[in-house]
Structure 1
Amino acid sequence: MDETGDAESLTRRDYLAGSGVLLGTSIIAGCSSNSGEPPSTGTSSAGGTGTSMPTDDGSYTASLSPVGEIEFNSVPENVFTMYNQYADMLVSLNHGDAINSMFVPDMAGPSMNHYYERLSGVSFDWEDLPNPYDNFSKEFFYSLGSDVHFLDPAWAITQENWDVNDIKEITNNVGPFFGNFYSGTHGEPQEPYSQNYQYYTLWELFGRVATVFQERERYEQLKTVHDELINTIQTNLPPKEERPTAVRVTLGDGQFWTYHLNRLGFWLADTRPLAANDAFGDETWDGLWGSVGYEAMLEADPDVILHLWGMTPRYDMGNVRENLASHSVGQELSAVKNDRVYAHGMRYHGPIMNLFQIEMTAKQLYPDIFGEWPTYESGDHYPEIPSDEQLFDRDRVAGIIVEG
């Protein structure tokens, strides 16, 4: 890690203060941090809102594990994001223009806008954003001069040449960290952050980000939409024995990268509510994902194949289906025979994407209950669905985001 630069001459923005740092890739196949699951330590539910009322001088606090309570003197205007759930959160709160960086923008940016296309007045300008993963150095953090870093310090210290002292330096000289990575899978962070590390759902995490931007009302309105969607789904699910078997995979060279459907963690916030029968549910992998060959996939023979990243520019679903159908074993898969190989979304998804990806998954798994999933061609926006077949109201969501 390049530790040169003007660390001593650069200071945090005067109008924003941060405190509370505690001492104590493959982009497509699985992405970074191959932490095991389930964890042996940690708190299973964080609860609370992390909210405080502004004081007389306008300052306020927001809290999040593992960073603790952070004081802000003003709403951040220049914001570092790493994983794309945070970028989606900022767009949801109508603060997308504050983003100064994001993970794989050429993949995530177009994918996010495929969803936003269905929300009038909502879009995201990603083209000039740098990817922190290309230059994860302190010099890069100094160059951005971010008011806040939506990044988990417990994850940051797993990167080459980073330790707790580097976290303290960037916090003191640039801006505080405010992120929680390991709630994604309930994986265990390394010391010194493993003690009392708390886990959040996607929407709990979103609520705490909303506090940073003083946007609790927008958050509460969007959460109501989400809660109503979940209620619609779960009150209409068939009995377990009548649900399809399914897998969430990415097709590689002669193998399938496999992911669970129903385990804990917000990476599964779009599949767990649908409660399909996970064809590999009993498998325990040494990391966030596993891999199986064609023979093992045929032995499991799921009714539905959800191809992760299938709605991103990284995959052409026509080619995926052709490769499966032309393979001597792949062509025997029930999902291939019955045309139930579907493009799925991104693991790194925030609240807007979560709404669309839950709807998508519901239609792909349970077309007789929630309506057929429309034809989708690679590169298309999220399909237009007739209003009487939508599982949440697009105009309502767009109004919350744009008008508040």
Structure 2
Amino acid sequence: MSRDDTAHDAPTRRGYLKYGGAAVGGGLLAGCTSQSNSGSTPTETTTDTSTATETEVKTATPENERYSVTMAPMGEVEFESVPERVVIYDSQWADHLVALGQQERIVSLGWPDSYYTGYYDELPGVSFDTGGLPGMWDGGLDKEQFYELDADVHHVDPCRFTSFDSGLDRADFEELEENVGPFFANRFSRAHGEPPEWCRESYQYYTLWELLDKFAQVYKVESRSQALTRVRDEMLDSVYAELPPEEERPAVGLVVYDHEEESFSPYKLNAPGFGKAHTRPLRARDAFADSDKTYAENYEAAYDFEGMLAVDPDVLLHNFDWTNPRERTKAFLALDEHPVGSELTAVENGRLYATGSALQGPIMNLFQLELTAKQIYPELFGQPPEPGASVPEGEQLFDRQRVADIVDGDV
């Protein structure tokens, strides 16, 4: 059964120590010209004795300890050892590392103050302290900050950050890859968006759980990835065993409500990508599937209240906001006070919910699958919790202690 974001001209001494005199990132340049299907493989290495000193050659890691992991768009990325210092921007990559028990390696986040750690509070012994981490975004990315952080690997997708004005271009990322460390991320798998032309040919989309396998290879903890995938598959199997026939499932609208414009921007409930990994697997009917409006992830279309009444979903999910309620969320949840909004079937039946984040890794996905199953099918799986509240133990759809054990390496 299928289950379904001052110039540094020369390599640094640290680069020589890391690669034995050869800059072996293997990512941006190699990945855009060729793509291997291999996973984690031993690789050969050469030592440039004309460049590296005798001391530097002696500190190089033996050949049999090197390994590589292949992921688009980087291609084959080589590591001499498990990365100790890890730069992260997008929150989903941090969640991948927490799931694999590698959170202590993280030295940055894009927005540490807004990173949601509430799910970890549900897992005995699991935590992720973001308080001391520097933020990566201040009107753009700062190349000097990458040098200062001095990471062994950057879980940042250069293709994503060259698709808009981020402050860095392709040449900057190639420089950082050569002088600091490789890049390893795949942001366009979020919604299968189109990457910029320079890396389009080498790009490939992965599911959330395929991405977890790639990260597990980097940190040599594949058994944890496999065990977490089993938890997810078992939860979905139990959900599928209870689902009614498709025609009897509710019509669900996934939207963002603009309370100032009094308009609703619809999102595709069952679209591909890890951004919908908490809605697509639940196999509900998309209320907007037969609409004559074109809608996408970029607010191309909007419905006013009359248009929403014509669609009239059984359930309305407000995108992104369960982990980060804001003013628009409050307005959405108060639609029963709106003279027209109160006529919507979902409002009349009390079926309005703030739902999960698209920027999700495996732990977030487990909790968001459980949450969304309860929001769409409360008669089958129990009432969903309010933001910040816990699901009672007898109503949980997966074992928190089991997940905590896996994170801790007990698989």
- After TM superposition, the score normalised by the length of structure 2 is 0.84
The structure with higher relative contact order (CA 8 Å, sep 6+) is 1
2:125 matches 1:136: no
> Which has the greater radius of gyration?
2
The aligned amino acid for 2:230 is T
Q: Deviations over 1:204-245 (max 9, x none)?
A: 011101111111011111111111122222232211110101
The within-5 A match list for 1:302-381 is 302-315=313-326, 319-321=330-332, 323-374=334-385, 376=386, 378=387, 380-381=388-389
2:279 matches 1:259: no
Distance in 2 (CA, whole Å) between partners of 1:9 and 1:263 is 43
Q: How far off its partner does 1:130 sit?
A: 2.8
Distance in 1 (CA, whole Å) between partners of 2:333 and 2:92 is 31
| Counterpart residue number, 1:41 | none
The within-5 A match list for 1:233-312 is 233-252=239-258, 253=260, 254-282=262-290, 283-285=293-295, 287-290=297-300, 291-312=302-323
Q: What SS is found at the alignment partner of 2:224?
A: helix
2:107 matches 1:100: yes
Which deviates further from its counterpart, 11-20 or 114-123? Answer: 11-20
Q: What SS is found at the alignment partner of 1:172?
A: helix
| Counterpart residue number, 1:15 | 18
Distance in 1 (CA, whole Å) between partners of 2:366 and 2:321 is 17
Q: Deviations over 1:284-313 (max 9, x none)?
A: 336544433222222211111112233224
The aligned amino acid for 1:265 is G
The aligned amino acid for 2:128 is F
Q: What SS is found at the alignment partner of 1:165?
A: helix
Distance in 1 (CA, whole Å) between partners of 2:294 and 2:334 is 27
RMSD of equivalent CA atoms: 2.4
Q: Deviations over 1:245-287 (max 9, x none)?
A: 1122222222223211101111100000111111122443365
Distance in 1 (CA, whole Å) between partners of 2:282 and 2:143 is 41
Distance 1:226 1:287, change over 3 A: closer
Q: What SS is found at the alignment partner of 2:107?
A: strand
- After TM superposition, the score normalised by the length of structure 1 is 0.85
Q: What SS is found at the alignment partner of 2:198?
A: coil
CA contact (8 A) 1:94 1:402 kept: yes
Q: Percent identity?
A: 42
2:194 matches 1:188: yes
Q: Deviations over 1:162-199 (max 9, x none)?
A: 33222210100111111111111111112111114211
Distance in 1 (CA, whole Å) between partners of 2:322 and 2:337 is 22
Distance in 2 (CA, whole Å) between partners of 1:99 and 1:210 is 15
Any unmatched runs of 5+ in structure 2? Answer: 1-5, 44-61
| Counterpart residue number, 2:399 | 393
Q: Deviations over 1:65-100 (max 9, x none)?
A: 010001101111111112111000000111111112
The within-5 A match list for 1:80-159 is 80-108=87-115, 111=116, 113-134=117-138, 135-159=140-164
Distance in 1 (CA, whole Å) between partners of 2:9 and 2:184 is 21
| Counterpart residue number, 2:213 | 207
Which deviates further from its counterpart, 123-132 or 343-352? Answer: 123-132
Distance in 2 (CA, whole Å) between partners of 1:21 and 1:322 is 45
Distance 1:215 1:49, change over 3 A: farther
Q: How far off its partner does 1:317 sit?
A: 8.4
| Counterpart residue number, 1:52 | 41
Distance 1:368 1:103, change over 3 A: same
2:180 matches 1:169: no
Q: How far off its partner does 1:350 sit?
A: 0.3
Distance in 2 (CA, whole Å) between partners of 1:81 and 1:357 is 22
Any unmatched runs of 5+ in structure 1? Answer: 25-45
The aligned amino acid for 2:354 is A
Distance in 1 (CA, whole Å) between partners of 2:13 and 2:237 is 48
